[in-house]
Amino acid sequence: SYDLTQPPSVSVSPGQTARITCSGDALPEKYAYWYQQKSGQAPVLVIYEDNKRPSGIPERFSGSRSGTMATLTISGAQVEDEADYYCYSTDSSGNHWGVFGGGTKLTVL
Amino acid sequence: EVQLVESGGGLVQPGGSLRLSCAASGFTVTNNHMSWVRQAPGKGLEWVSIIYSGGFTYYADSVKGRFTISTDNSKNTLYLQMNSLRAADTAVYYCARGVISGTYYFDYWGQGTLVTVSS
């Protein structure tokens, strides 16, 4: 099965830049997506197709992909950005649906 | 406004059955590619099943042969029939609307419904 690997946790102070990585063998060829999940809430799409922000997502959220790694960057992280973040992508099997990374707990304090 | 509201979760014994519902508004379920995604307590997200707008269905290996995904156009509702339930199926189940743009990804999610399989 295909795996996307994320660090279990990232910690920054308010106003600092937070970077969350996601590595996967198929990422050189496949888009990455990022979901934010606050405690007790449903996931919310924050980045799609590597670097696009859905309507309503603050500009401080950005994404990039290079080689086998995708990165979610939160520039000037706010306390309200504290959440679990999941990357999502597909493998090269031809299936449309993909897999989620294990998630990264972002602490902002 | 797109909204998804799940219902039908609860406590069920191992081997039992449960049917989850996901009522949609702001769009037509049968014109979209809909999925169920689950999250075991304290764990990550796991895709469970998809039903394409054309009616084709696919399942994760972990639920194949036990779960059935379906839609009702008249009620604009997505369902997940879960049979032969196991403790490992305990999770919050989310319905999600999908978009195919090369990859299939989820743009809107419901709030989830908790399924607990325990004796």
- The answer to whether A85 and A102 are in contact (CB under 8 A) is no
Residue A94 is predicted with a pLDDT of 75
Q: Cβ of B105 under 8 Å from any chain A Cβ?
A: yes
Taking an 8 Å cut-off on Cβ atoms, the answer to whether A45 and B104 are in contact is no
| Predicted confidence (pLDDT) per residue in A12-56, tens digit | 999 999 999 999 999 999 999 999 999 999 999 999 999 999 999
Tokens 């990264």 correspond to: A104
Q: What string of DSSP letters covers A24-86?
A: -TTTTTS--EEEEE-TTS--EEEEBTTTBPPTT--TTEEEEEETTEEEEEETT--GGG-EEEE
State the Cα–Cα distance between residues B94 and B107, nearest whole angstrom.
12
HSE toward the beta carbon, residue A7, CA cutoff 13 A: 13
Q: Answer whether residue A90 shows pLDDT above 80.
A: yes
State the Cα–Cα distance between residues B21 and A57, nearest whole angstrom.
29
Residue B32 is predicted with a pLDDT of 94
- The answer to whether A82 and A21 are in contact (CB under 8 A) is no
The mean pLDDT value for B107-119 works out to 97
Residue B6 is predicted with a pLDDT of 97
Taking an 8 Å cut-off on Cβ atoms, the answer to whether B58 and A97 are in contact is yes
Mutation pick from A6, A57, A96, A99 vs chain B, by most beta carbons of B within 10 Å, is A96
Residue A95 is predicted with a pLDDT of 75
Q: How many inter-chain contacts (A to B, CB under 8 Å) are there?
A: 64
Residue B29 is predicted with a pLDDT of 95
| Predicted confidence (pLDDT) per residue in A55-79, tens digit | 999 999 999 999 999 999 999 999 9
Residue B107 has a CB neighbour count (10 Å cut-off) of: 16
Q: Answer whether residue A96 shows pLDDT above 80.
A: no
Chain A CB contacts of B100 under 8 Å are 96
Nearest Cβ partner of A98 from B33, B44, B104?
B104
Confidence of residue A105 (pLDDT cuts 50, 70, 90): very high
Residue A93 is predicted with a pLDDT of 79
How is residue B42 written in tokens?
Answer: 């304290």
